[in-house]
């Protein structure tokens, strides 16, 4: 039996099929609720149940605590309705009409960018293009029903191939396969685009980007989009990594900085090696931002990388006056071992 969901305050309604999550149904109906991992890990989809009951689904305990549940909060990416619902959540503006689709894709090219980062270029069938906003992500659909999320590193104006930057995860099912067994011309199934990590273009506030490791991928897409659109907004990119080789594409932001007076690039290494001869900034990347800005109230901040980095930055930046609604993030959480039903 399907249930009806009403979003407050917009009054939008949609129906949720049996065993479907509230978020999957909302995306399929074209409503842009905020979300990140669709996995119960990042908390970006948290909202309130005003009326009705849900099965909270399978999520990480720290992401939705018992106290939050008692206060009516849920993770819409995991929650399945048990009755009709009225929910309270903000709807995201900006990429209306982009709906995810399931598509086959051929691996056109793989290029090792460092000891543990691989660029993958995917070609969709010749009559297909994926409509997406720069910074969104796709999910690979694995044979056993599992999914793996990777951010799009290209901008939509340059969409002949979908570009991904994959970091090798020790013991990781999918990335081990990519690095050790997969060949060019392999066919993969993917679904996308997903996510609300894209440039808000209704403001001219200066932007601070913070990338950790392969968190550079979606930020690359967003900056390339901004350059293509000839945005004049001031951009400062902080890219944090452990050692010099982990800044696997540093020549590109260096080139942006040399070409565009409104773009500044600040690489930050946390554990530079002696042979790196590193003269640049050191320490944690979010700390470099804190060292440079006493007041973040006038900025829009886009942050992408490991969940701990994103969470720490979020809290610390709020203490520096960053408005809550000017912080956008994608936390690279790990895939949930439980297979998810496709939207």
Ligand X SMILES: Cc1cc2nc3c(=O)[nH]c(=O)nc-3n(C[C@H](O)[C@H](O)[C@H](O)COP(=O)(O)OP(=O)(O)OC[C@H]3O[C@@H](n4cnc5c(N)ncnc54)[C@H](O)[C@@H]3O)c2cc1C
Q: Which of residues 145 and 321 has its CB atom nearest to ligand X in the complex?
A: 145
Q: Which is closer to ligand FES, CB of 77 or CB of 130?
A: 77
Sign, CA torsion 68/74/75/79: positive
Q: How many whole angstroms separate alpha carbon 226 and alpha carbon 174? A: 32
Q: How many CB atoms lie within 10 A of CB 296?
A: 22
From 21, 24, 73, 214, residue interacting with ligand X (rule: CB under 6 A): 214
Scan residues 303-342 and list those touching ligand X (CB under 6 A): 330, 332-335
Q: How far is the CB of 42 from ligand FES (least distance, A)?
A: 3
Query: For ligand X, how many residues bind (rule: CB under 6 A)?
Result: 25
* In the complex, least distance from residue 213 CB atom to ligand FES, rounded to whole angstroms: 19
Q: Which of 25, 118, 44, 115 lies closest to 332 in space, CA to CA?
A: 44
Orientation angle between helical segments 307-319 and 285-292, nearest 10 degrees = 20
Closest listed residue to residue 313, CA positions, set 227, 240, 226:
240
User: Which of 121, 174 has the CB closer to ligand X?
Assistant: 174
Nearest to 254 by CA among 222, 223, 285: 223
* Contact residues: ligand FES, CB under 6 A: 35-45, 63, 75, 77
Query: Which CB, 94 or 280, lies closer to ligand FES?
Result: 94
User: Among 172, 191, 205, 320, which residue interacts with ligand X (rule: CB under 6 A)?
Assistant: 172
Partner from ligand X, ligand FES, none binding residue 63, C-beta < 5-8 Å depending on class:
ligand FES
Residue 167 binds which entry of ligand X, ligand FES, none, with Cβ cut-offs from 5 to 8 Å by kind?
ligand X
User: What residue 44 binds from ligand X, ligand FES, none (CB within 5 to 8 A, per partner kind)?
Assistant: ligand FES
DSSP string, 290-309: HHH-S--TT-EEEEEE-HHH
Closest CA to 237 of 157, 305, 150, 322: 305
Nearer to ligand FES, 192 or 272 (CB): 192
């Amino acid at each position: 039996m399907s249930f009806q969901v009403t979003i407050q305050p917009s009054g939008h309604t949609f129906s949720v099929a049996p065993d479907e999550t509230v978020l999957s149904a909302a995306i399929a109906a074209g409503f842009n609720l905020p979300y990140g991992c669709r996995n119960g890990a990042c908390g970006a989809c948290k909202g309130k149940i005003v009326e009705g009951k849900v099965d909270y689904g399978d999520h990480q305990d720290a992401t939705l605590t018992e106290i939050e549940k008692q206060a009516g909060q849920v993770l819409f990416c995991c929650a399945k309705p048990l009755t009709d619902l009225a929910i309270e959540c903000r709807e995201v503006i900006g990429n209306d009409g982009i709906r995810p689709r399931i598509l086959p894709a051929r691996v056109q090219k793989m290029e090792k960018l460092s000891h543990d980062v691989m660029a993958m270029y995917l070609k969709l069938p010749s009559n297909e293009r994926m409509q997406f906003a720069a910074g969104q992500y796709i999910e690979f659909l694995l044979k056993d029903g599992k999914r793996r999320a990777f951010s799009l590193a290209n901008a939509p104006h340059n969409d002949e191939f979908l570009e991904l930057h994959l970091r090798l995860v020790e013991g990781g099912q999918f990335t081990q396969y990519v690095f050790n067994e997969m060949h060019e011309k392999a066919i993969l199934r993917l679904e996308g685009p997903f996510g609300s990590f894209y440039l808000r273009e209704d403001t001219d506030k200066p932007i601070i980007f913070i990338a950790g490791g392969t968190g550079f991928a979606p930020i690359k897409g967003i900056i390339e989009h901004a350059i293509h659109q000839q945005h004049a907004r001031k951009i400062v990119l902080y890219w944090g990594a452990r050692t010099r080789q982990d800044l696997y594409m540093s020549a590109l932001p260096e080139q942006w900085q040399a070409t565009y007076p409104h773009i500044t690039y600040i690489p930050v290494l946390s554990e530079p090696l002696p042979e790196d001869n590193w003269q640049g900034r050191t320490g944690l990347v979010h700390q470099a931002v804190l060292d440079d800005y006493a007041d973040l109230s006038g900025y829009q901040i886009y942050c992408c990388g490991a969940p701990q980095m994103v969470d720490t930055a979020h809290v610390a930046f709020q203490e520096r006056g960053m408005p809550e609604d000017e912080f956008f993030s994608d936390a690279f959480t790990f895939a949930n071992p439980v297979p998810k039903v496709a939207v």
